Amino acid sequence: MASPSALRELQRDLETKANDLSKLQKDIAKNHQVRKKYTIQLGENELVLKELDLLKEDANVYKLIGPVLVKQDLAEANANVRKRIEYISAELKRLDGTVQDLEEKQNSKKDAVLKVQQRIQSLQAGKAKV
Amino acid sequence: MEQAAKKGTVTPLASLFPPEDTEKAVRRVKETLVEEQAELDRVQGFISDNTSLISLVQRLPEDLHHDIMVPFGKAAFFPGRLIHTNEFLVLLGEGYYAERTSRQTVDILTRREQGLESQAESLKVMMRDLQAEASFFGATASEAAEGLVEIREDYVEENSTERESQSGPPKEGAPRFSEADKAKVGVKDEEFAHMMSRLDELEKEELGNGRNEVNAKVAVDDEEYARMMSRLDELEKEELEAEFGDGRDEDNAKVAVKDEEYARIMSRLDELEKEEPEAEHDNETDEEEKMRADFDQLLNQRSLDKNLRYSEDYQSRKLLERMRDKKSATEELLNKHHPQQDLTDQLNCTGLTVQSVPKDEISHGTSLAHNAIKSSPPEKAFMISEVKENVQAANSSRSQVPDQTSKPGFDSHKAFPGSIIEHTHNIQTNFSQQSGTSSQPPSSQPSKPVSRFKMQRR
């Protein structure tokens, strides 16, 4: 009978698929973490922007670069922060896209795994009958 | 239980939610709860740090200089002196610093505090939700262990009305719109409906009309409005007590006529009211409270649509009466509606200042008015919606009744998310996910309505 070899093959198939699935899940988790980090950064930047907006024109603004504080123009700082916010937002959007993509992949993988499991089960049941 | 239902199915709860899975869910929710608690503690630590920092920053400029110990490396300090006590270099975030004075620094810090407070608030809300979820999971687990069954039936219109009539009367015993009351004070009811319709009418008219003459008329209209209100109270009182029924009917016939008649009616009402002992008032307020409680119960215990149907049954009856009265009432009441809009907020005070009737009565009346308003939002809500259909007037957030309508909506909203019903969806999906991972058929989805009903009871 060919069923033992077929069964073995199916099981190997299942294993690889399950591995893929877990890899995908790991990716998604990592993505979520990055996303969280960016969200926090975005919040911080927005806070900074708010405070910078509240500052008067002649206020002294410094930026910490490495170990030194470098004096910066308020307008310059403002522009920098704005740019940064833009960048982070774009990044967040990109991450959203990838997460969605990954989740789709995950779902299809899940389906595949389920199908293989069912086939194995039916094969085993057939064997038990025979 | 009606297990013989034609299209019902009975499923043991344990098969839908295996006990061990539910236990797992409980554990998971508890874990997240602990995490949230830690986060909340962290945020609260930030808040307390921030407040102490604010007080420090406020205190520093009080002196020209402070003697301090300056940290030097990790373990060493040396004595030093803090000067320029009104200059702060504030870290705004992302490596940006700004030179600020003490005052400005405190401003920044208070803004930060507000942000932190809102964070803590949202965390608390989340924790409350999680707690509700956990308790629900626990209850489901115990129920499943007890071998509870779930009965599923397709939703049919007649069914619901049947259930309505079964469950309706006992709950409506207290409200004044119950059957018993209707029988007792059918006429009063009608009159009340009439008055309500006029109020609604006024509000609708007010929307249609310009508001330019408002100011000119306010002084006169206040009085009329107060009269209207007290009369409305009177009617409600009558409904509740069904005591002085005599003569009301002819009043009813005349209601929609002239102001002199109003004055006459009012004087009579005043007389009646004076005779009225204070004790009755207490009784009424009690009853009103009961009614309110009952309505809350209704909101809680039934799904909204059922509620709606019930009130609509009642309202459609009202509407007929109202339609009859409406035309005659409309014109002469037209000029009375303006104060209402201005007075809604300070109903009490205006009533006191404008009316010349005994003080006793006014406080009496206004308190009643408040009670009535509070207790009858569901009816009012539907009344309005129906009136709107007829009059085709736009909504106005300023007029009184729309304001009131927003209240029940809010209440019911509050009632629902507060209870477990809102979470049913999450939970169900959660379960289905679980059963999905354990490769069981996720069959819990279509059963939502009934299980929700069941949950509501608990």
Domains and CATH numbers, chain B: 13-149 (1.10.287.370), 159-418 (no CATH)
A59 to B92: CB separation less than 8 angstroms, yes or no: no
Distance from CA of A45 to the nearest CA of B (A): 7
Three-state DSSP at B441 gives coil
Average pLDDT of chain B is 62
Q: Is the pLDDT of residue B332 over 90?
A: no
> Which of B83-92, B96-105, B308-317 is least confident?
B308-317
Is a pLDDT exceeding 70 seen at residue A32? yes
Q: Write down the ipTM of this complex.
A: 0.77
Number of domains within chain A: 1
Q: Identify the helix (H) or strand (E) that includes residue B357.
A: none
Question: What is the predicted pLDDT for the residue at B145?
Answer: 77
All residues of chain A having their beta carbon less than 8 Å from the beta carbon of residue B96 are 48, 52, 61-64, 72, 77, 81
For residues A17 and A112, the answer to whether their CB atoms sit within 8 Å is yes
Nearest CA in chain B to A73: B98
> Mean of the per-residue pLDDT values for chain A?
90
d(CA B245, CA B187): 9
Instruction: State the pLDDT at residue B320.
Output: 52
Q: Rounded to a whole number, what is the distance in Å from the CA of A69 to chain B's nearest CA?
A: 8
Does position B197 have pLDDT exceeding 50, yes or no? yes
Confidence (pLDDT) at B160: 53
List of chain B residues whose C-beta atoms are within 8 Å of the C-beta of residue A64: 95-97
Q: Which of B14-28, B210-224, B337-351 has the highest mean pLDDT?
A: B14-28
pLDDT at B207: 65
Nearest to A48 among B92, B99, B100 (CB): B92
> Which pLDDT value is given to residue B94?
87
Using alpha carbons, list the distances in angstroms from residue B2 to B5, B16, B202.
6, 21, 50
CA dist., res. B376 & res. B347, Å (int): 17
Whether pLDDT at A65 is above 50: yes
Instruction: Say what the pLDDT of residue B121 is.
Output: 96
| B28 alpha-carbon distance from chain centroid | 33
User: Which of A41, A52, A60 lies closest to B99 in CB terms?
Assistant: A60
Structural domain of A108: 3-129
pLDDT higher at B220 or B129: B129
What residues of chain A have any CB closer than 8 angstroms to a CB in chain B?
41, 44-45, 47-48, 50-52, 54-55, 59-65, 69, 72, 77, 81, 84, 114, 117
Q: Hey, are the CB atoms on A77 and B96 less than 8 Å from each other?
A: yes
**Local structure of residue B393 (DSSP, 8 states):** P
Q: What is the mean pLDDT of residues B299-326?
A: 49
- Rounded distance, CA A43 to CA A47, Å? 6
From B75, B112, B115, B116, select the one nearest B91 (Cα to Cα). Answer: B112
Percent of chain B with pLDDT over 90: 21
B224 to each of B208, B231, B259, B331, B351, how far by Cα in Å?
A: 20, 10, 9, 15, 10
Max avg pLDDT among B30-44, B242-256, B434-448: B30-44
CATH of residue A23: 1.10.287.370
When pLDDT is averaged across residues A22-47 and rounded to a whole number, the result is: 94
